[in-house]
Amino acid sequence: MATGEKKTKIVKRIKVDVDKCNGCRACEVICSSFHATPKYSSNNPARARIRVIHEPLKDIYFPVYAGEYVQAECTGRNKYTIDGKQYDECAFCRASCPSRDVFKEPDSGLPIKCDMCEGEEEPLCVTWCLADALTYEEEEEVGEEEALDEMEIGLEALANKYGLPKLMDAMVRMSVSRKG
Ligand code: SF4
Ligand code: SF4
């Protein structure tokens, strides 16, 4: 239930400068390692909450962060033309959705989302990006407190799609990973 109460919150953002990205994928490596169970025990970029889209002909690298899980795939598709090369809308989409495998836990198939490396002073992908393509920013924003609403809707959607036991199992593993 939304309370309508005004609250000040810190909004965290990572700015991406595509022109500076050289495709080294250090961001994918550290992100997947940070989220491994136990923490730092392995690295598998398929587990990363950031994925670097590559266009070989133009040598363009485009880091994309994992956003919210959505239950339904889009019914329409747009095309983007960048530097003369046409991209499908899905290439830059941040959502984990039924249409594609990106931003899903490889073992469980559960959606993954960037959590800004909760508990760390600065997002690790930013620290590890030696090309300075990623910049961390914090900004104060006043708005209605709706976090609980969003969390409840998200959890309900996940439970409907994957079943409660699988969801609980993933949450227990995440909790162990954070403590590790
Ligand atoms: S670490 Fe930085 S330069 Fe390397 S792929 Fe990621 S965003 Fe690009
Ligand atoms: S901020 Fe942390 S969780 Fe998000 S993509 Fe970067 S390393 Fe991964």
> 13-39 pLDDT, tens per residue?
999 999 999 999 999 999 999 999 899
Name the residue type at position 110: L
CA 87 to chain centre: 20
* Ligand in closest contact with the CA of 54: 1
> 96-128 pLDDT, tens per residue?
998 888 999 988 889 999 999 999 999 999 999
Answer yes or no: are the C-beta atoms of 149 and 1 closer than 8 Å. yes
Question: What pLDDT score was predicted for residue 1?
Answer: 46
Two structure tokens written together for 106 = 């490889």
Kindly give, in sequence order, each residue whose CB lies less than 8 Å from that of residue 163, ignoring residues fewer than 6 positions away. none
Q: Does the C-beta of 49 come closer than 6 Å to ligand 2?
A: yes
Two structure tokens written together for 41 = 């025990």
* Ligand in closest contact with the CA of 50: 2
Q: Does the C-beta of 27 come closer than 6 Å to ligand 1?
A: yes
Say what the alpha-carbon torsion angle 81, 87, 91, 95 is, to the nearest 10 degrees: 60
Q: How far is the CA of 26 from the centre of ligand 2 (A)?
A: 11
Q: Alpha-carbon distance 144 to 1, whole Å? A: 12
